[in-house]
Amino acid sequence: MSSSADGQSRGARLAARHLPTFVRWLGNFGWPILLRQLRADFRKNRFFFSQFVCLGVLGVTLIAMISYQTSDETRTATQIGQALFDSFFIIQYLIILVIFPAFSATAFTEERAGLTIDLLLASTLKPEEIVWGKFFASTVYCLVYVVASIPLLSISFLFGGVEPREVLVAYGILIGLTLLISMVGVCISSWYGSPIRSTLTVYVLVFLGLAASWYAFRRTGWGEKGAEGRTLISLLLDSLGVGSSVGLPQVAVLAAVAFAYLFLITANRVRPSSDDRTSPLRALTFIAILGFLLASVASPQDIYLWLTTGTGGVWGRGRGPGWQRGLVQQVFVLVLLAAAIFPTEEAATSRRNRARFGAWTGPRYPLRIFAPGAFWGFAYAVALTALSSGVLLLGLGAGRQDGIDGAAVQALLTMPFYIAAVAALGFLLAACDFTPFYARLTVSFVLVITALLPFIFMLSKEREEVWTGWDVLWRAYYLSPLTLWQSLVADPAEDPSQFLLFGVPVAAAARWILGGLGAAFLAAGVLAARRAGHPLLRFAGGGDARAPRAAQRA
Protein backbone atom coordinates (compact mmCIF):
# COMPACT_ATOMS: atom_id res chain seq x y z
CA MET A 1 0.00 0.00 0.00
CA SER A 2 1.50 3.34 -1.01
CA SER A 3 1.64 6.24 1.39
CA SER A 4 -0.31 8.53 -0.93
CA ALA A 5 -3.19 6.09 -1.01
CA ASP A 6 -2.90 6.02 2.75
CA GLY A 7 -3.25 9.75 2.94
CA GLN A 8 -6.20 9.81 0.61
CA SER A 9 -8.17 7.14 2.31
CA ARG A 10 -7.54 8.26 5.85
CA GLY A 11 -10.95 9.75 6.20
CA ALA A 12 -12.47 6.76 4.53
CA ARG A 13 -10.64 4.40 6.85
CA LEU A 14 -11.73 6.37 9.88
CA ALA A 15 -15.25 6.18 8.61
CA ALA A 16 -14.87 2.48 7.92
CA ARG A 17 -13.68 1.91 11.47
CA HIS A 18 -16.36 3.96 13.15
CA LEU A 19 -19.23 3.52 10.77
CA PRO A 20 -20.14 0.02 11.95
CA THR A 21 -20.32 1.24 15.55
CA PHE A 22 -22.38 4.19 14.45
CA VAL A 23 -24.67 2.03 12.38
CA ARG A 24 -25.12 -0.41 15.26
CA TRP A 25 -25.91 2.54 17.45
CA LEU A 26 -28.43 3.74 14.90
CA GLY A 27 -29.87 0.25 14.82
CA ASN A 28 -30.56 0.54 18.51
CA PHE A 29 -33.00 3.28 17.68
CA GLY A 30 -34.97 1.21 15.25
CA TRP A 31 -33.23 2.55 12.17
CA PRO A 32 -34.52 -0.21 9.82
CA ILE A 33 -38.09 0.71 10.71
CA LEU A 34 -37.49 4.40 10.14
CA LEU A 35 -35.77 3.73 6.82
CA ARG A 36 -38.59 1.53 5.57
CA GLN A 37 -41.19 4.09 6.55
CA LEU A 38 -39.29 6.92 4.90
CA ARG A 39 -38.93 5.00 1.66
CA ALA A 40 -42.62 4.22 1.54
CA ASP A 41 -43.73 7.72 2.46
CA PHE A 42 -41.43 9.49 0.03
CA ARG A 43 -42.94 7.40 -2.74
CA LYS A 44 -46.45 8.26 -1.68
CA ASN A 45 -45.60 11.97 -1.48
CA ARG A 46 -47.19 11.95 1.93
CA PHE A 47 -44.11 13.67 3.23
CA PHE A 48 -44.17 16.59 0.81
CA PHE A 49 -47.90 16.93 1.03
CA SER A 50 -48.00 17.24 4.79
CA GLN A 51 -45.10 19.68 4.79
CA PHE A 52 -46.76 21.75 2.10
CA VAL A 53 -50.11 21.91 3.86
CA CYS A 54 -48.67 22.85 7.24
CA LEU A 55 -46.23 25.43 5.92
CA GLY A 56 -49.00 26.81 3.70
CA VAL A 57 -51.36 27.28 6.63
CA LEU A 58 -48.64 28.98 8.61
CA GLY A 59 -47.51 31.23 5.75
CA VAL A 60 -51.00 32.34 4.75
CA THR A 61 -51.96 33.15 8.33
CA LEU A 62 -48.78 35.14 8.88
CA ILE A 63 -49.30 37.13 5.67
CA ALA A 64 -52.90 37.84 6.67
CA MET A 65 -51.66 38.95 10.09
CA ILE A 66 -49.08 41.27 8.55
CA SER A 67 -51.57 42.95 6.25
CA TYR A 68 -54.06 43.31 9.09
CA GLN A 69 -51.52 44.65 11.56
CA THR A 70 -49.87 47.09 9.15
CA SER A 71 -53.24 48.49 8.10
CA ASP A 72 -53.66 49.74 11.65
CA GLU A 73 -51.78 53.07 11.59
CA THR A 74 -51.59 53.39 15.39
CA ARG A 75 -49.38 50.33 15.76
CA THR A 76 -45.64 50.56 16.21
CA ALA A 77 -43.20 48.21 14.48
CA THR A 78 -42.39 46.61 17.82
CA GLN A 79 -46.03 45.81 18.45
CA ILE A 80 -46.40 44.32 15.00
CA GLY A 81 -43.30 42.18 15.48
CA GLN A 82 -44.57 40.92 18.80
CA ALA A 83 -48.04 40.18 17.45
CA LEU A 84 -46.50 38.25 14.55
CA PHE A 85 -44.26 36.31 16.89
CA ASP A 86 -47.21 35.45 19.11
CA SER A 87 -49.36 34.29 16.23
CA PHE A 88 -46.46 32.31 14.80
CA PHE A 89 -46.07 30.52 18.12
CA ILE A 90 -49.80 29.90 18.58
CA ILE A 91 -50.29 28.57 15.05
CA GLN A 92 -47.30 26.29 15.38
CA TYR A 93 -48.57 25.13 18.74
CA LEU A 94 -51.99 24.34 17.27
CA ILE A 95 -50.57 22.58 14.22
CA ILE A 96 -48.36 20.42 16.42
CA LEU A 97 -51.17 19.61 18.80
CA VAL A 98 -53.93 19.09 16.26
CA ILE A 99 -52.31 17.75 13.08
CA PHE A 100 -49.24 15.87 14.21
CA PRO A 101 -50.95 13.30 16.46
CA ALA A 102 -52.53 11.87 13.30
CA PHE A 103 -49.07 10.70 12.21
CA SER A 104 -48.27 8.77 15.36
CA ALA A 105 -51.74 7.63 16.47
CA THR A 106 -51.65 4.75 14.01
CA ALA A 107 -48.04 3.72 14.52
CA PHE A 108 -48.90 0.28 15.88
CA THR A 109 -52.55 -0.04 14.88
CA GLU A 110 -51.49 0.26 11.24
CA GLU A 111 -49.18 -2.73 11.68
CA ARG A 112 -51.90 -4.69 13.45
CA ALA A 113 -54.54 -3.90 10.86
CA GLY A 114 -52.11 -4.68 8.02
CA LEU A 115 -51.07 -7.97 9.69
CA THR A 116 -47.41 -6.99 9.57
CA ILE A 117 -46.86 -6.73 13.30
CA ASP A 118 -46.14 -10.45 13.84
CA LEU A 119 -43.27 -10.41 11.38
CA LEU A 120 -41.83 -7.45 13.25
CA LEU A 121 -42.28 -8.98 16.70
CA ALA A 122 -40.87 -12.34 15.67
CA SER A 123 -37.67 -10.64 14.49
CA THR A 124 -34.72 -10.05 16.77
CA LEU A 125 -35.50 -6.36 17.10
CA LYS A 126 -35.85 -5.53 20.77
CA PRO A 127 -39.15 -4.01 21.89
CA GLU A 128 -37.35 -0.76 22.72
CA GLU A 129 -35.96 -0.62 19.21
CA ILE A 130 -39.38 -1.21 17.72
CA VAL A 131 -40.78 1.64 19.80
CA TRP A 132 -37.91 3.97 18.87
CA GLY A 133 -38.31 3.06 15.22
CA LYS A 134 -42.04 3.70 15.26
CA PHE A 135 -41.52 6.91 17.21
CA PHE A 136 -38.93 8.37 14.87
CA ALA A 137 -40.85 7.23 11.81
CA SER A 138 -43.88 9.17 12.97
CA THR A 139 -42.09 12.20 14.38
CA VAL A 140 -39.53 12.83 11.68
CA TYR A 141 -41.88 14.85 9.45
CA CYS A 142 -43.04 16.92 12.35
CA LEU A 143 -39.48 17.77 13.36
CA VAL A 144 -38.54 18.60 9.79
CA TYR A 145 -41.56 20.86 9.59
CA VAL A 146 -40.80 22.67 12.83
CA VAL A 147 -37.26 23.31 11.65
CA ALA A 148 -38.38 24.26 8.14
CA SER A 149 -40.63 26.95 9.55
CA ILE A 150 -37.73 28.92 11.02
CA PRO A 151 -37.44 31.20 7.94
CA LEU A 152 -41.07 32.22 8.38
CA LEU A 153 -40.32 33.20 11.94
CA SER A 154 -37.65 35.58 10.76
CA ILE A 155 -40.39 37.83 9.35
CA SER A 156 -41.31 38.93 12.86
CA PHE A 157 -37.67 39.85 13.49
CA LEU A 158 -37.90 42.47 10.75
CA PHE A 159 -40.20 44.47 12.99
CA GLY A 160 -38.18 44.09 16.19
CA GLY A 161 -39.54 43.70 19.71
CA VAL A 162 -38.64 40.04 20.13
CA GLU A 163 -35.60 38.89 22.06
CA PRO A 164 -33.45 35.96 20.88
CA ARG A 165 -34.03 34.31 24.28
CA GLU A 166 -37.76 34.21 23.58
CA VAL A 167 -37.16 32.61 20.19
CA LEU A 168 -34.99 29.93 21.75
CA VAL A 169 -37.57 29.16 24.43
CA ALA A 170 -40.36 29.13 21.85
CA TYR A 171 -38.45 26.61 19.75
CA GLY A 172 -37.62 24.54 22.82
CA ILE A 173 -41.30 24.37 23.68
CA LEU A 174 -42.37 23.52 20.12
CA ILE A 175 -39.80 20.78 19.65
CA GLY A 176 -40.44 19.35 23.11
CA LEU A 177 -44.17 19.36 22.43
CA THR A 178 -43.65 17.62 19.09
CA LEU A 179 -41.63 14.84 20.69
CA LEU A 180 -44.06 14.40 23.55
CA ILE A 181 -47.15 14.41 21.35
CA SER A 182 -45.61 11.82 19.03
CA MET A 183 -44.77 9.57 21.96
CA VAL A 184 -48.31 9.94 23.29
CA GLY A 185 -49.66 8.84 19.89
CA VAL A 186 -47.28 5.88 19.65
CA CYS A 187 -48.15 4.82 23.20
CA ILE A 188 -51.91 5.00 22.63
CA SER A 189 -51.59 3.15 19.33
CA SER A 190 -49.95 0.24 21.13
CA TRP A 191 -53.14 -0.25 23.17
CA TYR A 192 -55.63 -0.61 20.37
CA GLY A 193 -56.28 -2.95 17.49
CA SER A 194 -58.08 -0.51 15.24
CA PRO A 195 -56.58 2.71 13.86
CA ILE A 196 -59.88 4.56 14.29
CA ARG A 197 -60.14 3.88 17.99
CA SER A 198 -56.55 4.84 18.69
CA THR A 199 -56.92 8.05 16.67
CA LEU A 200 -60.12 8.95 18.51
CA THR A 201 -58.49 8.36 21.87
CA VAL A 202 -55.51 10.46 20.92
CA TYR A 203 -57.79 13.32 19.88
CA VAL A 204 -59.67 13.19 23.17
CA LEU A 205 -56.30 13.71 24.84
CA VAL A 206 -55.45 16.45 22.35
CA PHE A 207 -58.64 18.23 23.33
CA LEU A 208 -57.64 18.05 26.99
CA GLY A 209 -54.18 19.30 26.03
CA LEU A 210 -55.73 22.25 24.21
CA ALA A 211 -57.86 23.13 27.21
CA ALA A 212 -54.89 22.87 29.56
CA SER A 213 -52.72 25.02 27.27
CA TRP A 214 -55.41 27.65 26.97
CA TYR A 215 -55.71 27.76 30.76
CA ALA A 216 -51.94 28.01 31.17
CA PHE A 217 -51.68 30.80 28.59
CA ARG A 218 -54.54 32.79 30.11
CA ARG A 219 -52.98 32.51 33.54
CA THR A 220 -49.95 34.42 32.36
CA GLY A 221 -52.20 37.44 31.84
CA TRP A 222 -51.60 37.39 28.10
CA GLY A 223 -53.93 39.65 26.16
CA GLU A 224 -55.05 41.47 29.30
CA LYS A 225 -54.63 45.05 30.30
CA GLY A 226 -51.25 45.04 32.03
CA ALA A 227 -49.59 42.81 29.46
CA GLU A 228 -49.24 45.13 26.51
CA GLY A 229 -45.85 45.15 24.91
CA ARG A 230 -45.10 41.62 26.07
CA THR A 231 -45.02 38.42 24.05
CA LEU A 232 -46.73 35.26 25.23
CA ILE A 233 -43.36 33.58 25.67
CA SER A 234 -41.96 36.31 27.87
CA LEU A 235 -45.12 36.19 29.99
CA LEU A 236 -44.84 32.40 30.22
CA LEU A 237 -41.22 32.75 31.30
CA ASP A 238 -42.31 35.18 34.00
CA SER A 239 -45.03 32.92 35.32
CA LEU A 240 -42.53 30.07 35.53
CA GLY A 241 -39.95 32.36 37.05
CA VAL A 242 -38.28 32.74 40.38
CA GLY A 243 -41.35 33.52 42.47
CA SER A 244 -43.38 30.46 41.47
CA SER A 245 -43.19 26.89 42.68
CA VAL A 246 -42.35 25.45 39.24
CA GLY A 247 -39.58 26.82 37.08
CA LEU A 248 -38.80 26.23 33.41
CA PRO A 249 -36.21 23.52 34.23
CA GLN A 250 -38.81 21.66 36.29
CA VAL A 251 -41.24 21.77 33.39
CA ALA A 252 -38.56 20.38 31.09
CA VAL A 253 -37.70 17.63 33.57
CA LEU A 254 -41.37 16.81 34.03
CA ALA A 255 -41.86 16.52 30.29
CA ALA A 256 -38.79 14.29 30.02
CA VAL A 257 -40.09 12.03 32.79
CA ALA A 258 -43.50 11.85 31.09
CA PHE A 259 -41.76 10.95 27.82
CA ALA A 260 -39.75 8.22 29.54
CA TYR A 261 -42.89 6.76 31.14
CA LEU A 262 -44.73 6.68 27.83
CA PHE A 263 -41.74 5.04 26.18
CA LEU A 264 -41.43 2.35 28.84
CA ILE A 265 -45.16 1.67 28.92
CA THR A 266 -45.19 1.28 25.15
CA ALA A 267 -42.18 -1.03 25.17
CA ASN A 268 -43.94 -3.08 27.84
CA ARG A 269 -47.04 -3.35 25.71
CA VAL A 270 -44.99 -4.54 22.76
CA ARG A 271 -42.85 -7.10 24.51
CA PRO A 272 -44.27 -10.42 25.68
CA SER A 273 -45.00 -10.47 29.38
CA SER A 274 -42.22 -12.87 30.28
CA ASP A 275 -39.78 -10.06 29.80
CA ASP A 276 -39.24 -7.78 32.73
CA ARG A 277 -42.10 -5.30 32.57
CA THR A 278 -41.57 -3.51 35.79
CA SER A 279 -37.96 -2.76 36.71
CA PRO A 280 -37.41 0.24 34.44
CA LEU A 281 -40.76 1.68 35.48
CA ARG A 282 -39.96 1.21 39.15
CA ALA A 283 -36.52 2.71 38.77
CA LEU A 284 -37.88 5.69 36.87
CA THR A 285 -40.60 6.27 39.47
CA PHE A 286 -38.02 6.02 42.24
CA ILE A 287 -35.72 8.52 40.60
CA ALA A 288 -38.56 10.81 39.59
CA ILE A 289 -40.07 11.01 43.09
CA LEU A 290 -36.78 11.48 44.90
CA GLY A 291 -35.60 13.83 42.17
CA PHE A 292 -38.81 15.83 42.42
CA LEU A 293 -38.36 16.03 46.18
CA LEU A 294 -34.76 17.15 46.01
CA ALA A 295 -35.30 19.52 43.10
CA SER A 296 -38.22 21.17 44.85
CA VAL A 297 -36.69 21.65 48.23
CA ALA A 298 -33.01 22.11 47.80
CA SER A 299 -31.45 25.24 46.54
CA PRO A 300 -27.71 24.73 46.23
CA GLN A 301 -27.29 27.17 49.06
CA ASP A 302 -29.58 25.13 51.30
CA ILE A 303 -27.69 21.94 50.58
CA TYR A 304 -24.37 23.63 51.22
CA LEU A 305 -25.53 24.96 54.59
CA TRP A 306 -27.03 21.64 55.53
CA LEU A 307 -23.88 19.73 54.65
CA THR A 308 -21.46 22.14 56.32
CA THR A 309 -23.19 23.32 59.47
CA GLY A 310 -25.82 20.63 59.77
CA THR A 311 -28.15 23.11 61.39
CA GLY A 312 -28.78 26.03 59.15
CA GLY A 313 -30.41 24.26 56.26
CA VAL A 314 -34.13 23.80 56.42
CA TRP A 315 -35.49 23.21 52.98
CA GLY A 316 -37.83 25.82 51.67
CA ARG A 317 -37.43 27.86 54.83
CA GLY A 318 -37.85 31.07 52.97
CA ARG A 319 -41.09 29.86 51.44
CA GLY A 320 -43.07 29.35 54.61
CA PRO A 321 -44.93 26.45 56.25
CA GLY A 322 -47.71 26.36 53.65
CA TRP A 323 -45.18 25.57 50.93
CA GLN A 324 -43.50 22.91 53.10
CA ARG A 325 -46.79 21.17 53.78
CA GLY A 326 -47.71 21.34 50.12
CA LEU A 327 -44.51 19.54 49.28
CA VAL A 328 -45.21 16.80 51.84
CA GLN A 329 -48.66 16.30 50.36
CA GLN A 330 -47.40 16.12 46.80
CA VAL A 331 -44.74 13.58 47.69
CA PHE A 332 -47.22 11.42 49.59
CA VAL A 333 -49.69 11.39 46.73
CA LEU A 334 -46.92 10.23 44.39
CA VAL A 335 -45.69 7.54 46.77
CA LEU A 336 -49.25 6.38 47.42
CA LEU A 337 -49.76 5.94 43.68
CA ALA A 338 -46.57 3.90 43.43
CA ALA A 339 -47.75 1.79 46.39
CA ALA A 340 -51.07 1.13 44.66
CA ILE A 341 -49.46 0.16 41.35
CA PHE A 342 -46.34 -1.89 42.01
CA PRO A 343 -47.32 -4.38 44.74
CA THR A 344 -50.41 -5.35 42.73
CA GLU A 345 -48.34 -6.83 39.93
CA GLU A 346 -48.64 -10.52 39.22
CA ALA A 347 -47.12 -12.55 42.02
CA ALA A 348 -45.75 -14.99 39.48
CA THR A 349 -42.40 -14.09 37.98
CA SER A 350 -40.63 -15.77 35.14
CA ARG A 351 -37.60 -17.89 35.81
CA ARG A 352 -35.49 -15.69 33.60
CA ASN A 353 -36.21 -12.64 35.71
CA ARG A 354 -35.62 -14.46 38.93
CA ALA A 355 -32.29 -15.71 37.66
CA ARG A 356 -31.32 -12.18 36.70
CA PHE A 357 -32.16 -10.61 40.02
CA GLY A 358 -31.00 -13.64 41.97
CA ALA A 359 -27.48 -12.77 40.86
CA TRP A 360 -27.73 -9.52 42.84
CA THR A 361 -26.28 -10.44 46.17
CA GLY A 362 -24.17 -8.71 48.81
CA PRO A 363 -24.13 -4.95 48.51
CA ARG A 364 -26.38 -5.13 45.46
CA TYR A 365 -29.07 -6.98 47.43
CA PRO A 366 -31.17 -3.85 48.09
CA LEU A 367 -31.52 -3.41 44.34
CA ARG A 368 -33.89 -6.37 44.41
CA ILE A 369 -36.67 -3.96 45.27
CA PHE A 370 -36.67 -3.34 41.53
CA ALA A 371 -37.20 -7.05 40.82
CA PRO A 372 -40.53 -7.98 39.19
CA GLY A 373 -43.33 -9.54 41.16
CA ALA A 374 -45.76 -8.50 43.86
CA PHE A 375 -43.56 -9.26 46.83
CA TRP A 376 -40.69 -7.08 45.71
CA GLY A 377 -43.23 -4.49 44.66
CA PHE A 378 -44.30 -4.36 48.29
CA ALA A 379 -40.68 -4.07 49.42
CA TYR A 380 -40.23 -1.31 46.86
CA ALA A 381 -43.22 0.68 48.11
CA VAL A 382 -42.05 0.38 51.72
CA ALA A 383 -38.52 1.43 50.83
CA LEU A 384 -39.77 4.36 48.78
CA THR A 385 -42.10 5.69 51.46
CA ALA A 386 -39.51 5.23 54.21
CA LEU A 387 -36.90 7.00 52.16
CA SER A 388 -39.09 9.92 51.16
CA SER A 389 -40.44 10.43 54.69
CA GLY A 390 -36.91 10.26 56.04
CA VAL A 391 -35.67 12.81 53.54
CA LEU A 392 -38.63 15.08 54.27
CA LEU A 393 -38.24 14.80 58.06
CA LEU A 394 -34.56 15.64 57.86
CA GLY A 395 -34.80 18.22 55.13
CA LEU A 396 -37.76 20.09 56.57
CA GLY A 397 -36.01 20.31 59.91
CA ALA A 398 -38.48 18.33 62.02
CA GLY A 399 -38.12 19.08 65.70
CA ARG A 400 -36.16 22.26 65.13
CA GLN A 401 -37.29 25.78 65.92
CA ASP A 402 -37.34 26.85 62.29
CA GLY A 403 -38.54 23.48 61.00
CA ILE A 404 -42.03 22.18 60.25
CA ASP A 405 -44.56 22.05 63.06
CA GLY A 406 -45.63 19.12 65.23
CA ALA A 407 -48.81 18.29 63.34
CA ALA A 408 -46.95 17.95 60.07
CA VAL A 409 -44.34 15.80 61.79
CA GLN A 410 -47.08 13.52 63.12
CA ALA A 411 -48.44 13.15 59.61
CA LEU A 412 -44.97 12.50 58.23
CA LEU A 413 -44.54 9.72 60.79
CA THR A 414 -47.98 8.22 60.24
CA MET A 415 -48.32 8.37 56.48
CA PRO A 416 -45.67 5.68 55.77
CA PHE A 417 -47.70 3.23 57.87
CA TYR A 418 -50.77 3.95 55.80
CA ILE A 419 -48.82 3.53 52.57
CA ALA A 420 -47.21 0.31 53.80
CA ALA A 421 -50.64 -1.06 54.72
CA VAL A 422 -51.96 -0.23 51.25
CA ALA A 423 -48.91 -1.88 49.67
CA ALA A 424 -49.37 -4.98 51.85
CA LEU A 425 -53.01 -5.18 50.83
CA GLY A 426 -51.96 -5.03 47.19
CA PHE A 427 -49.44 -7.80 47.77
CA LEU A 428 -52.06 -9.94 49.51
CA LEU A 429 -54.45 -9.57 46.58
CA ALA A 430 -51.73 -10.37 44.07
CA ALA A 431 -50.68 -13.42 46.10
CA CYS A 432 -54.31 -14.58 45.93
CA ASP A 433 -53.94 -14.45 42.13
CA PHE A 434 -56.03 -11.35 41.55
CA THR A 435 -55.11 -10.01 38.14
CA PRO A 436 -53.30 -6.65 38.33
CA PHE A 437 -56.41 -4.93 37.05
CA TYR A 438 -58.74 -6.28 39.72
CA ALA A 439 -56.15 -5.89 42.45
CA ARG A 440 -55.72 -2.23 41.52
CA LEU A 441 -59.47 -1.75 41.36
CA THR A 442 -59.82 -3.20 44.86
CA VAL A 443 -57.00 -1.10 46.26
CA SER A 444 -58.46 2.04 44.69
CA PHE A 445 -61.79 1.18 46.26
CA VAL A 446 -60.16 0.91 49.69
CA LEU A 447 -58.37 4.21 49.07
CA VAL A 448 -61.64 5.94 48.24
CA ILE A 449 -63.41 4.50 51.27
CA THR A 450 -60.66 5.51 53.67
CA ALA A 451 -60.52 8.91 52.07
CA LEU A 452 -64.23 9.31 52.71
CA LEU A 453 -63.96 8.36 56.41
CA PRO A 454 -63.31 11.88 57.65
CA PHE A 455 -66.49 13.14 56.05
CA ILE A 456 -68.45 10.46 57.88
CA PHE A 457 -66.71 11.53 61.07
CA MET A 458 -67.40 15.16 60.42
CA LEU A 459 -71.08 14.34 60.23
CA SER A 460 -70.78 12.37 63.41
CA LYS A 461 -69.08 15.17 65.25
CA GLU A 462 -72.15 17.32 64.96
CA ARG A 463 -74.24 14.63 66.61
CA GLU A 464 -72.01 14.21 69.60
CA GLU A 465 -74.87 14.83 72.01
CA VAL A 466 -76.90 11.98 70.50
CA TRP A 467 -74.42 9.22 71.11
CA THR A 468 -71.06 9.60 72.82
CA GLY A 469 -69.65 6.72 70.80
CA TRP A 470 -69.31 9.19 67.93
CA ASP A 471 -66.73 10.94 69.98
CA VAL A 472 -64.50 7.89 69.91
CA LEU A 473 -65.07 7.47 66.19
CA TRP A 474 -64.18 11.07 65.61
CA ARG A 475 -60.82 10.40 67.08
CA ALA A 476 -60.18 7.64 64.59
CA TYR A 477 -60.11 10.53 62.18
CA TYR A 478 -56.40 10.13 61.63
CA LEU A 479 -56.77 6.69 60.15
CA SER A 480 -57.64 8.32 56.88
CA PRO A 481 -55.05 9.58 54.44
CA LEU A 482 -57.19 12.58 53.71
CA THR A 483 -57.20 13.75 57.28
CA LEU A 484 -53.52 13.13 57.60
CA TRP A 485 -53.15 15.61 54.82
CA GLN A 486 -55.67 17.86 56.43
CA SER A 487 -53.61 17.94 59.57
CA LEU A 488 -50.87 19.30 57.40
CA VAL A 489 -52.90 22.34 56.43
CA ALA A 490 -54.48 22.78 59.87
CA ASP A 491 -53.51 25.68 62.06
CA PRO A 492 -50.26 24.70 63.75
CA ALA A 493 -51.36 26.34 66.98
CA GLU A 494 -54.22 23.88 67.26
CA ASP A 495 -52.08 20.77 67.51
CA PRO A 496 -54.27 17.84 66.47
CA SER A 497 -51.93 15.36 68.11
CA GLN A 498 -53.52 16.36 71.40
CA PHE A 499 -56.48 14.21 70.42
CA LEU A 500 -56.45 11.07 72.44
CA LEU A 501 -57.90 7.70 71.56
CA PHE A 502 -58.24 5.54 74.69
CA GLY A 503 -55.50 7.59 76.28
CA VAL A 504 -53.14 7.29 73.33
CA PRO A 505 -52.48 10.18 70.92
CA VAL A 506 -54.59 9.56 67.85
CA ALA A 507 -51.67 9.66 65.41
CA ALA A 508 -49.77 7.09 67.49
CA ALA A 509 -52.86 4.90 67.63
CA ALA A 510 -53.20 5.22 63.88
CA ARG A 511 -49.63 4.04 63.48
CA TRP A 512 -50.32 0.99 65.64
CA ILE A 513 -53.54 0.15 63.87
CA LEU A 514 -52.16 0.71 60.37
CA GLY A 515 -48.95 -1.12 61.26
CA GLY A 516 -50.98 -4.05 62.60
CA LEU A 517 -53.15 -4.14 59.51
CA GLY A 518 -50.11 -3.97 57.28
CA ALA A 519 -48.41 -6.81 59.15
CA ALA A 520 -51.58 -8.91 58.97
CA PHE A 521 -51.96 -8.32 55.23
CA LEU A 522 -48.30 -9.13 54.71
CA ALA A 523 -48.50 -12.36 56.73
CA ALA A 524 -51.65 -13.44 54.91
CA GLY A 525 -50.02 -12.55 51.60
CA VAL A 526 -46.95 -14.62 52.40
CA LEU A 527 -49.13 -17.60 53.32
CA ALA A 528 -51.21 -17.25 50.17
CA ALA A 529 -48.09 -16.92 48.00
CA ARG A 530 -46.60 -20.03 49.61
CA ARG A 531 -49.73 -22.03 48.96
CA ALA A 532 -49.92 -20.91 45.35
CA GLY A 533 -46.25 -21.70 44.86
CA HIS A 534 -45.18 -18.13 44.10
CA PRO A 535 -41.60 -17.41 45.00
CA LEU A 536 -40.89 -14.76 47.63
CA LEU A 537 -37.28 -14.35 48.62
CA ARG A 538 -36.03 -17.26 46.57
CA PHE A 539 -34.61 -16.26 43.24
CA ALA A 540 -32.55 -19.12 41.89
CA GLY A 541 -34.04 -22.19 40.24
CA GLY A 542 -37.64 -23.19 40.82
CA GLY A 543 -40.34 -23.65 38.27
CA ASP A 544 -42.06 -21.01 36.30
CA ALA A 545 -44.53 -19.83 38.83
CA ARG A 546 -47.35 -19.99 36.33
CA ALA A 547 -47.13 -23.71 35.93
CA PRO A 548 -48.54 -24.84 39.29
CA ARG A 549 -51.77 -22.92 38.85
CA ALA A 550 -52.43 -24.44 35.46
CA ALA A 551 -51.48 -27.85 36.76
CA GLN A 552 -54.12 -27.53 39.47
CA ARG A 553 -56.70 -26.60 36.89
CA ALA A 554 -55.73 -29.50 34.68
Partner 1 sequence: MDSTTRAEESTAALAAGEGAAEIAVSVRSLSKTYGDGYAVHDLSFEVPRGEIFGFIGPNGAGKTTTLRILATLLEPTAGEVLVEGRCVVNETEEVRRRIGYMPDRFGVYDGVTVEEYLEFFAGAYRLPRGRRAAVIKDVLDLTDLGALRDRMVSSLSMGMKQRLCLAKTLVHDPSLLILDEPASALDARARIEMRVLLKELRRMGKTIIISSHILTELSDLCTSVAIIEKGELVVSGSMDLLQERKWGTDRVKITLHEPRPGVEEALVEIPAVELVSIEENVVVFDYAGAPGEFYKVLKALTDREVPVVSVEHDSRNLENLFLRLTKGDVQ
> Between the CA of residue 243 and those of 218, 248, 380, 402, what are the distances in Å?
18, 12, 35, 21
Closest contact distance (angstroms) between CB of 54 and partner 1 is 21
Residues forming beta bridges with residue 504, ordered by sequence position: 501
> Which residues is 505 bridged to in the sheet?
500
Whichever of 178 and 350 has its CB closer to partner 1, that residue is 350
How near is the Cβ of 116 to partner 1 at its closest, in Å?
5
Task: Choose one: 172-180, 199-207, 245-253, 266-274; the region binding partner 1 (CB under 8 A).
Answer: 266-274
Among 247, 321, 436, 548, binds partner 1 (CB under 8 A): 548
Q: Does 452 contact partner 1 by CB under 8 A?
A: no
Site for partner 1 in 37-66 (CB under 8 A): 39-41, 43-44
How far apart are CB 288 and partner 1 at their closest, in Å?
29
- B/e letters for 512-525, b = 16+ CB within 10 Å, e = fewer, are ebbbebbeebbebb
Question: Pattern 68-107, binding to partner 1, x per CB under 8 A?
Answer: ----------------------------------------
HEC string of 175-242?
HHHHHHHHHHHHHHHCCCCCHHHHHHHHHHHHHHHHHHHHHHHHHCCCCCHHHCCCCHHHHHHHHCCC
Q: For partner 1, give the closer residue by CB, 8 or 273.
A: 273
Site stretch for partner 1 (CB under 8 A), options 229-237, 268-276, 397-405, 420-428: 268-276
Compute the distance between CA of residue 23 and CA of residue 360 in angstroms, rounded to an integer.
Answer: 33
Residues listed for the chain: 554
493 binds partner 1 (CB under 8 A): no
Which is nearer to partner 1, 197 or 356 (by Cβ)? Answer: 356
Identify which range of 110-118, 165-173, 357-365, 405-413 contacts partner 1 by CB under 8 A: 110-118
State the DSSP string of 368-402: GGGSSSHHHHHHHHHHHHHHHHHHHHHHTTTTSTT
Rg of the chain (C-alpha set): 28
Q: Is residue 309 a contact point for partner 1 (CB under 8 A)?
A: no
Which residues are CB-neighbours of 312 under 8 A, at least 6 positions away? 305, 306
Selected from 114, 164, 226, 362, the binder of partner 1 by CB under 8 A is: 114
Where b means 16+ CB within 10 Å and e means fewer, 147-181 reads eebeebbebbeebebbeeebbebbbebbebbbbbb
Task: Determine, following the binding rule CB under 8 A, whether residue 31 of this chain makes contact with partner 1.
Answer: yes
By CB under 8 A, the residues from 331 to 350 that bind partner 1 are: 350
Report the run of H or E that residue 504 belongs to, with start and end.
strand 504-505
Among 13, 352, 364, 463, binds partner 1 (CB under 8 A): 352
Task: Return the number of the residue (26 or 251) whose C-beta is nearest partner 1.
Answer: 26
Touching partner 1, residues 152-211 (CB under 8 A): none
Q: What whole-number distance in Å separates Cα of residue 314 and Cα of residue 510?
A: 28
Binding mask 11-30 for partner 1 (x = CB under 8 A): ---------x--x---x---
Judged by CB under 8 A, the residue of 8, 123, 308, 498 near partner 1 is 123
* 534 DSSP assignment: -
Question: Contact positions toward partner 1, by CB under 8 A?
Answer: 20, 23, 27, 31-33, 35-36, 39-41, 43-44, 114-116, 118-125, 272-275, 350-352, 355, 533, 543-544, 546-551, 554
